[in-house]
Chains A and B, each alone.
Chain A
């Protein structure tokens, strides 16, 4: 019965958040498009033939404009650009999501710790966060991925450990807001310890904002992945949107005017990132009462 009350309340709250979210057309559209893209990326091995990715046995002639056989033309090796874009989604989304999980976890822990424990712990963490917040994260990520062995894992690590400070800042601010609420004082007076206060009050209060922030971080991570790959820091053996663009530049496709090689991966990035941004902003408006009515 007790669990029943809590469960009922949670479900009602979730339904409420969904209703508010669904009222925002931009966010809903973004979510829909994202769902389609994720499903397509997951189904890529089932609906396409992986053999088409093989450089040596490429089916077409190099750098051909769109035709009936290759709706989006072919790349420098004669592979179908459509096929590459579809498979590229897998790596780009994988890196985007994994790097985000890493970044958001570090950021949330650092943020809560910096706000909850006062004194020197918080001081040191705050300085540390500020330091990394100021550093140009891409430059740091470039440095990291240039010294670590090339590969998808390196890219994930490089993005993850350089992009956490924004989350940390946000979580810290929100934690401070919550901890300044009298109900934290009341909880302490009731005898609650650190674990109780963080677990029962701070974390549940911070998580909605973290969730909204996460969708924004995914978008940034996907752009960062494409940038690092474009600079030649990715794994040359796997296809991602960034590595496609890199090959487009180095193979002279740009000066040759091969727009069909350039547009699909780039547009894919823009669409996915825009969708994440729209979802994130809509969620932020729903979960952050301060923003209510401030954003269109």
Chain B
């Protein structure tokens, strides 16, 4: 009997379960291909948005401003919109490949230069705020979920829900009024800072406080809520009963089993939703005149400077897609469950 069992029992593995952790190269290629496709789509979207709707970009740019037909014709030639649409698209595409995003109408400078100048301040602000928000949000989320329905949980869920309902720019304005004069109201540096490393660092940090706190407040609230519900979902898992049955202390059950398993999808979700962070930056930078891409967008909107808007759109959307790619690849490396799918 046992030989027969061994013979027919050997291949009883469900085909779905036998798929192992291979196919990483396939996965990477697929994701990379998808990201490249998305980037191309962003580029096309940028072109279509700013050329097709609702016809003449020059007319949109010059709306409510006195321009005579001669000036308009000159502008059309300068932006190349007098050529056929397909030709325009090829020019635009070729430009992007060369790193040329056209020329700004308001600043009279290449869009690429303007963006390059403003890129790092945004990265600095977003990076600082995101890191702080993740640390704070995850820590509070874990504590709230583990002591569900405690006073701590109720208070922090309430605060987070309220912060989640606050328009970021309004929070920024409130902070400006509330701290009247305590922090600089705009910009990244003061013109009168004495030269030297420490005074300059201190000056930037001083400018950073308000925009960073504004961005942080809304972001951490969201992260806390995600972490909380993710951990609550994980806490019903049966393997936690196994861990308890093995004789683990409650805090070990939490630290070793529940939190890591809930953490991985949460962090990934945070990075997959990087678009929200970028959206937030636009208004916060506008309020505090932080010299980044968001403030640049705000300034471009005042004119309106369409080539500049188009360039910023492509760069912001493109960086979100790149962030996403990184998040998905990292998730697969870190979480064995994903490799199973």
Contacts and interface: CB of A to CB of B under 8 A. Distances in A.
Nearest to B280: A138
A121 interface: no
Interface string B136-177: 000000000000110001100100011011111110011011
B302 A135 contact: no
B229 interface: yes
B229 A295 contact: yes
A278 interface: yes
A148 B320 contact: no
Nearest to A281: B161
Given A138-B282, A266-B170, A143 B313 contact: yes
Q: Which of A127, A257, A274 has the most CB of B within 10 A?
A: A274
Nearest to A145: B301
Interface residues of B, number: 59
A274 B321 CA distance: 30
Contacts of B190: none
Nearest to A223: B167
B275 interface: yes
B165 A231 contact: no
Interface stretch (A172-180, A183-191, A248-256): A248-256
Contacts, number: 141
A60 interface: no
Contacts of B177: 254, 257, 259, 262
Contacts of A230: 167, 169, 283, 286
B279 interface: yes
Interface string B84-98: 000000000000000
Contacts of B233: 294
Contact of A146 (B41, B229, B301): B301
B53 A136 contact: no
Contacts of A149: 54
A273 B165 contact: yes
A147 B282 contact: no
B54 A270 contact: no
A278 B278 CA distance: 26
A138 to B, nearest CB: 3
A277 interface: yes
Interface of B: 34, 37-38, 41-42, 46, 49-50, 53-54, 57, 60, 148-149, 153-154, 157, 161-162, 164-170, 173-174, 176-177, 180, 185, 229, 232-233, 272, 275-276, 278-279, 282-283, 286-287, 297-298, 301-302, 304, 306, 309-310, 312-313, 316-317, 320-321, 324
A-B complex: 4 closest residue pairs judged by Cβ atoms: A138-B279, A136-B275, A273-B165, A266-B170
